[in-house]
Structure 1
Amino acid sequence: MGILDNKVALVTGAGSGIGLAIAELYAKEGAKVIVSDINEEHGNGAVEKIKSQGGEASFIKADTSNAEQVEDLVKSTVEIYGKLDIACNNAGIGGEQELTGNYTLDGWRKVLSINLDGVFYGCKYELEQMEKNGGGVIVNMASIHGTVAAPLSSAYTSAKHAVVGLTKNIGAEYGQKNIRCNAVGPAYIETPLLEAISGDMKAALIAKHPMGRLGKPEEVAELVLFLSSEKSSFMTGGYYLVDGGYTTV
């Protein structure tokens, strides 16, 4: 028996990294999982991996910066599995590395369109469906940069702060409708996004974490699982860090 038995879960950006770890853990705990990603190869690979582990999953390609595609994603989830109980809005990008005054307009818009608009679109259509169900759970992927600055990444910092605010609003608005919404704030995690970082830069990044290492996708997934389950039944509108102590100093 898993803690998500008979649940249907949707994870965006689930083709790799943190999203993949979340989708795998959801399936391991009994949920039927919709894996969504803009990368079709990665998404199908994630489904194959989950199925090889005895889980149930299906892939739906979607660009989370496109409202119509997100709406269709939620509709297709219900068509495939009959309902939507849990959603993790995880898809995101890092964006340009520039001083705020040098940030390009296109670069700003791209980060905000995926990291903020995409999360809003997800929440909007997930909430509509969950109201029909009579309840549900949403977990939004924020970051430590939902509370502290990421120098040279003003768009990323702004978007993640906004995701925390959006999450709080949903928690306040939907608490009496049996819908919970929380945000997770990971520090730097060992994912494909960090593979291009040089040895010296990576060492400097590690040094910012008092635990002396980067996090693992599975460690973030465990927190997401908790917030997605009935074990967190009296928790909504919150923002929870999994940061190896990054924000303590």
Structure 2
Amino acid sequence: MSKYSSVFDIVGPSMIGPSSSHTAGAAKIGLMARNIFNAQPQNVQIILYGSFAKTYKGHGTDLALIGGLLGYSADDRRIVNSAQDALRLGININLTTSDEETDHPNTAKIIMNRDNRTFEIVGISPGGGRAEIVEINGFKVKAAADNNFLLVFHHDRYGVIAAVANLLASHGINIGHMEVARKSKGAEALMVIQTDQQVPDDITIELKELAHVTGIVAFNKNSGR
């Protein structure tokens, strides 16, 4: 008989669970989704694809994703009770699996709702406890959990990208990588900006006040937010 009574009795460095991709990576996907939503959702739909869909019960992927959505880090032992914690907090979680093919085998789609506000996040776990967000509200992006990054939601207008870059430069924030996506010319757009430094709250407030900017999310790798 195994000396472990639960998959969560196996603890590695900075993770809980037997699989870095299916457990630790999944927890990071959930936590990134929560922080991008910038609130604790009331209703959550989780759709698992590929390997996630096939092995999630044995590897605790469902509990890890839920734990991340509750704000638990990958090494937080509360993950084992995350489903009960969500129920106690009145969070409605619906988890399903899909046979649809995806670009990566460890893929989860998370649809979050609160007060008539809805966000749809697609995340992947490439292995080694890493996590990336690859889609936000239909925008194709690449945002990794081990980087500092900014999400700048804005109207597609002339000069917005330059205004954001100039404001960051004025505060000594260096841009390591930037991607810009838009749904159509002149419509809603999204900047994903990887920064060498963490972006403090006072700078995000300034960014929100720029013309045509509709929303800001700052993800700082050390704090998880």
TM-score by structure 1 length? 0.33
Max radius of gyration: which structure?
2
TM-score by structure 2 length? 0.36
Q: Which has the higher strand share?
A: 2
Q: Which has the higher helix share?
A: 1
